[in-house]
Structure 1
Amino acid sequence: MPVRLDLPPGLGQRPLALPDAAAVAAVMAAGELADTGEVVIEAADIVADWSRPSFDVGASTVGVIGQADRSLVAYAEVTSGDRASLAVHPDYRGRGLEAELARWLRERAGEAGSAVVGLPVPEGSLLDGQLAALGWEVRWASWVLALPADAEIPPRTPPAGYAVRAARPDEHEDCWQVIEDAFLEWSVRERRPFADWSAAVTGRPGFEPWQLRVATDPAGAVVAACVLVMATPDGVPEGYVDMVATRRDHRHRGLAQALLADAFAVARAHGAARSTLSTDSRTGALGLYRRLGMEVISTWVNRCAPTLRAAGG
């Protein structure tokens, strides 16, 4: 395991556990609000991610704790492979915690066998500047987009013979296959096991069957899928499109646009004030979402650094 953090007086550290999910979400939410004016994280997001069978929460996380009241003030985790997360509550920024947690991430990811480790940060934020000063480079840019509450949902009809609807339970593995195949075309990572995907999607707290949408071809096979998350991160209901993908041999037929329009309409029918999603520069999909009337509400960058093992540290 990595060496202990060098912390200011009055702070301690410990591995985290599933019951800490709400505290982690609160620290992340405070940072998002300070950096972007928007809160997108929810405790359910942490619970779903940490519930993956392959994820060892205790070995993959570290929390910085106030010794007086035992409250969580910062945290870091190596989520999987070269993916990581880091957050420091705004009240504790500027005390060197960011640099220490960044070092911890490089050590922990190196121990896990990764050559690099990266994490998303709001572009131009304090953490963005701190990581840049530490030599962390930008791998890609990403954007959070929203369909405003008063925007008309553009009509998108699937081709003749195709249907868009909620997925049946016996189609969940087909959805996983379509999504993983599509994402692995541009994302350099290992294939996510079906059990991990299920924990993060159908096992997410609050999941309802209608939130997993599919497009089927004339033979009834699942050829595109969309994961919709209903969230209230700042108290206002919204529909977040977590994933959307189309099988390679059925692309350029408008299926992704039909699924997105369907997801927006379903979310609105279930009380969502707006619909949101995120995309990054690796996918080339930003133009698609803008054509559907979505607007960029925040820009993020993924900064990465060699792990200490890879760098010989």
Structure 2
Amino acid sequence: MSTLDLPDPLTSRVLSQADAEAVYELAAAQEQADIGRVEVELADILSDWSRPSWDVATHTLGVFDGDRMVAYGEITGADRGDAAVHPDYRRRGIGTAVAGWMRQTALDLGGEGYGSPVPQGSAGDRLLDRLGYRVRWTSWVLDLPEGTEVAPRALPPGYAVRGATPDDYHAIHDVIEDAFLEWSVRERESYEDYHASVIGRPGFEPWNLRVVTDPSGEVVGAAVVLMFAGPPPEAFIERLAVRRDQRRQGLAQALLADAFAEGRSRGATRQCLSTDSRTGALSLYEKVGMVVGDVWLNRATGV
């Protein structure tokens, strides 16, 4: 690990699994400052860090003031990284130092660079802009206004929407990966990584996976629904995909309606998802009544 140029008395070191809660608290403080609420959960960190392809010893860096973590960076995949600087420690050059470490680490791991999601107009967005990071794509968080529902969509004869069973897990992974790789330039996610980050996520319940099946019973669409405690309690659709040859039959809308209904039945009062400019799906979600809230930019260097 290269030595970071940090102001005294700050120090840096690689992280360990024992640092996951401190990373969560740091990311939460940054979100509170940047978007006015906390979206991240400790389960997000723990599930990401449990992926077999990921190594905490080579993919992370923490910056400390004594025993207190005040910034961190990690390369979470072949071309993605996440970072946070505590709001109390901004404007000290820490973010610039961490960004430099992330860029070099991505190169050392065999990539050409990396990108990071940052709220549009935030301190992180302005920093990466100054450092020359371009905007790769724009992401939107869409909310379903409280008191409204996605209208149910009649399915073609023989099709059904239901909760998944363990026998569906491999098919869900295939449907989602095939769809996402139509527009995402990356290596295919292994089933083992998918299992660790979704099914192995702390708090996972079988109902979190929703599927639509064709008349033969084959899975042709899937959604991953996460529940966040809030406040307010939230149902978030993390992934939703329909197989290419099964589109334009209303299957995605049927999955949306089902996923959000399942969340509401478990106390969710906020219902949302995110999409980005690579997918072309924004208009679909707006047509069913969802409205854009937060806007995030994926800023990247070298890719």
TM over 0.5: yes
Note if 1:209 corresponds to 2:206.
yes
Matched with 1:288 is: 284
Note if 1:26 corresponds to 2:63.
no
What is the SS of the residue equivalent to 2:227? strand
Matched with 1:114 is: 111
Check the 8 A contact 2:149/2:257 in 1, yes or no.
Answer: no
Aligned partners of 2:181 and 2:201: how far apart in 1?
Answer: 22
Note if 1:235 corresponds to 2:231.
yes
Cα deviation for residue 33 of structure 1 reads 1.5
Q: Which of these residues, 195, 198, 204, is aligned with residue 198 of structure 1?
A: 195
What is the SS of the residue equivalent to 1:159? coil
**CA deviation string 1:103-143 (max 9, x = no partner):** 00110000001112110001111111111111111111001
**CA deviation string 1:261-283 (max 9, x = no partner):** 10010000011111111111000
Matching residue's letter, 1:36: I
Note if 1:10 corresponds to 2:5.
no
Paired residues for 1:212-227 under 5 Å: 212-227=209-224
Aligned partners of 1:254 and 1:146: how far apart in 2?
Answer: 20
Q: Runs (4+) of structure 1 moved beyond 4 Å? A: none
Matched with 2:69 is: 72
Aligned partners of 1:146 and 1:28: how far apart in 2?
Answer: 22
Check the 8 A contact 2:150/2:256 in 1, yes or no.
Answer: no
What is the SS of the residue equivalent to 2:114? strand
Cα deviation for residue 17 of structure 1 reads 1.7
**CA deviation string 1:33-54 (max 9, x = no partner):** 1111132110100101110011
Paired residues for 1:268-307 under 5 Å: 268-306=264-302
TM-score by length of 1: 0.94
Aligned partners of 1:110 and 1:102: how far apart in 2?
Answer: 13
Cα deviation for residue 19 of structure 1 reads 2.3
Matched with 1:144 is: 141
Compared CA separation, residues 89 and 290, structure 1 to 2 (3 A): same
Matching residue's letter, 1:63: G
Note if 1:94 corresponds to 2:88.
no
Number of matched pairs: 303
**CA deviation string 1:11-69 (max 9, x = no partner):** 111111222222111111111111111321101001011100110011100011111xx
What is the SS of the residue equivalent to 1:32? helix
Aligned partners of 1:160 and 1:301: how far apart in 2?
Answer: 41
**CA deviation string 1:226-266 (max 9, x = no partner):** 0001112x432111100000111111111111101100100
Matched with 1:189 is: 186
Which moved further from structure 2: 103-112 or 139-148? 139-148
Note if 1:165 corresponds to 2:162.
yes
Matching residue's letter, 2:162: R
Identity of aligned residues (%): 54
Residue ranges of structure 2 left out of the alignment (5+ in a row): none
Matched with 1:56 is: 55
What is the SS of the residue equivalent to 1:287? helix
Cα deviation for residue 152 of structure 1 reads 3.0
Aligned partners of 2:150 and 2:243: how far apart in 1?
Answer: 24
**CA deviation string 1:68-116 (max 9, x = no partner):** xx11111100001011111111111111111001100110000001112
Q: Which of these residues, 227, 230, 242, is aligned with residue 246 of structure 1?
A: 242
Which moved further from structure 2: 265-274 or 286-295? 286-295
Aligned partners of 2:235 and 2:27: how far apart in 1?
Answer: 20
Cα deviation for residue 196 of structure 1 reads 0.3
Aligned partners of 1:25 and 1:157: how far apart in 2?
Answer: 41
Aligned partners of 2:233 and 2:18: how far apart in 1?
Answer: 24
Matching residue's letter, 2:166: P
What is the SS of the residue equivalent to 1:201? helix
Matched with 2:150 is: 153
Aligned partners of 1:21 and 1:235: how far apart in 2?
Answer: 22
